[in-house]
Structure 1
């Protein structure tokens, strides 16, 4: 692709994301809806102006990594630790229920082959942490009780999803499953999440020190972006999603994170705020590219809308996708209003579901009809979930706020 075309595409993505986000905000709708719709309009679903190539995919990946870094910075680790048991219950229930329901409905009702049914069940386990945290942030509920539980569960979901994805892909290629490989991935991911925040916290003091000594401006954003991207690369190398590397770095650099074993290093208490303020403009440029990219990846024009199978299949699997995550939310030991809010927040599949579906298509597990049906399911849970989540908070938001403050 010629450079001037790529530059025009990036400009179109940024401008359309902003315009559609403004329109969404005027209608009192989460901004992420506008950004997703911008991708649908620009992509193959409608105008077909932009086909997401590798440079745009890379920018989108940087966007979600930086967004998760910001979420990590704003995360109250104390609340997250307190919600640890609840987050783990939600992650396990919200992973197992959609998987079993998706596999069962496809294998026993639609008579699909076992591997296809397993892949569909695996796709339904996904939770788009990027879409979910953006919806909660737009509603001002990112640091709420349910927000912290959902965030913790979504991180665990992503890790389990990676392990399951590796197992299913290996089975589709070799017809065998190596539990040793799955165990190795799980071990590496666990070690990374133990060590990464500690290392990042120590490196943050180096960034702070050199910022005080530096004669040239820009030390903080250059140092932080380098740190975040390095951690994202390491996360990928150990088998975890890159975005979780950004989240681990953000957690470590938040003012609520303390090193273990009583280690205490003196640092300017305003440095964390200053750091966040300098990173915000960069995050606001890159993160919309990711959400537009999700919309660009949904080729709704390729769907055979006249096929009875696609409609019956997609509607049934969509219902299973929603019910599976709501079951996960209902398993959490909270009041009923919080449990429903938690389950609803876990429904969007977004880019994580698309990764599963695309791998199923590329590996030959999904035929065109099944793939099209899964795209519809992912599109529905991603594009429409924010509307009914927002409606729920409009009705029960005051009650949830009182529960959170109590």
Structure 2
């Protein structure tokens, strides 16, 4: 009993220390817990009992759901809507380029099978949604990316990539039964997640705006001021459970459901200045009799500490549990894995190219302004445009690089449930997923540290909320809490 307790104490202690150290040294706090998971888990020392690792896996997944839910609560809906087209193109690029590049290297270069190449490429086409939101939250000490144009594009593209990853994992899961003569309907397997995701994405804002929000504002929200956080957290739990249940039974990603649950709650309260949820601070909502703390305030009060110090580190440690660390260290595995890693890094990095392309298209749409710039100072104008576009382009491209949990899930399904993925192909994919999940957040952290202010002040940076509609003070509360933690 004493030994087990000491093991658990040391595990959590190293989780916290490693996260703090990796955040301070390389500006990517998620790397430390992944390394601790590799060391304490089955991949290396296997110090933790198997039952503990399974328990931590489920607790970590709850942490992942809360990370995505928090992202939905703090996301600027107006920015998502304004940049939806660009986000769709960015997401398509982030899916098609990794699969296409995989065929060039794995199929034509390494001689892997066509189906095996598709499975590995599909695994590397999915952006880690949990890592994306963790990176955004970590960067909030320097700049609140959730309030920027480039942050809105990043969130939308990552969510779309997560949904596409679910579609591919569903298809790959059934490839084994199809190859052995099963009766699975491939068209339905592909179509169900797409239809379910599209239906939830379309129906949620429609029903929220025309049904749930009017009912909530007219009959419910004024009663919430009586119980403050208690009524808020009760509704938050019910909504989150409802959305992830609907998403699961419909056949789409429960992470997508968690994100929609957050955006649903963000839109519910009245945005009128006299509304109960329109407050300047958490203290005002708690103090004033006819005011209520916002849902962001309640998340900060009930969930933020548990998520930050326990559940989120457990999630990233569980990623380390799934990495076959000892099998990675052969000469063939290393050079193939590194080459494929670099190619997959470039494949996602290309997503950032849409920032300068979109900027150039916008400037061409206003020829009068462009001609005036050319007459006044052509060279300085071009330098100014480049300096305002390049940092957000780099940020978007590198933030999409991390693969994480979705990539591991897809390649493990392909390796364990089908006969198509070989051991060599599995190890090559693991190398690329692991290194990209490390490289992406590190680069983003350093970029935000040295260029965060320029990004925030540029045309792809911070955008002021339209009046009281999105209560900026509420959406900034989590960032302020993390900044206070950093100062301490």
With structure 2 as the length reference, what TM-score do the two structures score?
0.73
Change beyond 3 A, Cα 1:207–1:26: farther
SS at match of 2:237: helix
Q: 1:389 aligns with which of 422, 444, 447?
A: 444
Change beyond 3 A, Cα 1:319–1:221: same
Taking only aligned residues, the RMSD between alpha carbons, in angstroms, comes to 3.2
Change beyond 3 A, Cα 1:184–1:240: closer
Change beyond 3 A, Cα 1:12–1:228: farther
Distance in 2, Cα, partners of 1:222 & 1:9: 35
Match of 1:104 in 2: 104
Q: 1:286 aligns with which of 290, 306, 311?
A: 311
Confirm whether residue 241 of structure 1 aligns to residue 253 of structure 2: yes
SS at match of 2:278: coil
Instruction: Say whether the 8 Å CA contact 1:127–1:349 is kept in structure 2.
Output: yes
Q: 1:378 aligns with which of 423, 430, 433?
A: 433
SS at match of 1:375: helix
Match of 2:174 in 1: 170
State the Cα distance separating 1:56 from its structure 2 match: 2.2
Match of 1:19 in 2: 17
Confirm whether residue 277 of structure 1 aligns to residue 275 of structure 2: no
Instruction: Say whether the 8 Å CA contact 2:67–2:133 is kept in structure 1.
Output: no
Distance in 2, Cα, partners of 1:70 & 1:10: 28
State the Cα distance separating 1:370 from its structure 2 match: 1.8
Distance in 2, Cα, partners of 1:405 & 1:116: 43
Deviates more, 1:115-124 or 1:359-368: 359-368
Match of 1:188 in 2: 196
Change beyond 3 A, Cα 1:104–1:249: same
Deviates more, 1:63-72 or 1:220-229: 220-229
Change beyond 3 A, Cα 1:179–1:76: same
Instruction: Say whether the 8 Å CA contact 1:330–1:336 is kept in structure 2.
Output: no
Q: 2:346 aligns with which of 319, 323, 331?
A: 323
SS at match of 1:56: helix
State the Cα distance separating 1:177 from its structure 2 match: 6.6
Instruction: Say whether the 8 Å CA contact 2:126–2:164 is kept in structure 1.
Output: no
Report 1:40-119 matches (<5 A): 40-50=38-48, 51=50, 53-119=53-119
Gaps (5+ residues) in structure 1? none
State the Cα distance separating 1:217 from its structure 2 match: 7.9
Instruction: Say whether the 8 Å CA contact 1:90–1:331 is kept in structure 2.
Output: yes
Distance in 2, Cα, partners of 1:88 & 1:287: 28
SS at match of 1:331: helix
Q: 1:145 aligns with which of 149, 169, 180?
A: 149
Distance in 2, Cα, partners of 1:148 & 1:183: 27
Instruction: Say whether the 8 Å CA contact 2:172–2:414 is kept in structure 1.
Output: no
Distance in 2, Cα, partners of 1:116 & 1:225: 41
Query: CA offsets, 1:153-191, max 9 Å, x none?
Result: 010111112112222333343048722432232111211
Confirm whether residue 340 of structure 1 aligns to residue 358 of structure 2: no
State the Cα distance separating 1:101 from its structure 2 match: 0.8
Match of 2:466 in 1: none
Gaps (5+ residues) in structure 2? 280-292, 360-388, 464-488
Deviates more, 1:52-61 or 1:317-326: 52-61
Change beyond 3 A, Cα 1:197–1:9: farther
Aligned length: 397
State the Cα distance separating 1:84 from its structure 2 match: 0.8
Instruction: Say whether the 8 Å CA contact 1:43–1:299 is kept in structure 2.
Output: no
Q: 2:265 aligns with which of 229, 253, 262?
A: 253
Match of 2:134 in 1: 134
Confirm whether residue 349 of structure 1 aligns to residue 399 of structure 2: no
Change beyond 3 A, Cα 1:83–1:217: closer
Query: CA offsets, 1:103-130, max 9 Å, x none?
Result: 2321111111111111111111010011
Query: CA offsets, 1:120-152, max 9 Å, x none?
Result: 111110100111221232122432222111100
Instruction: Say whether the 8 Å CA contact 1:60–1:287 is kept in structure 2.
Output: yes
SS at match of 2:251: coil
Deviates more, 1:342-351 or 1:16-25: 16-25
Instruction: Say whether the 8 Å CA contact 1:192–1:238 is kept in structure 2.
Output: no
State the Cα distance separating 1:242 from its structure 2 match: 1.4
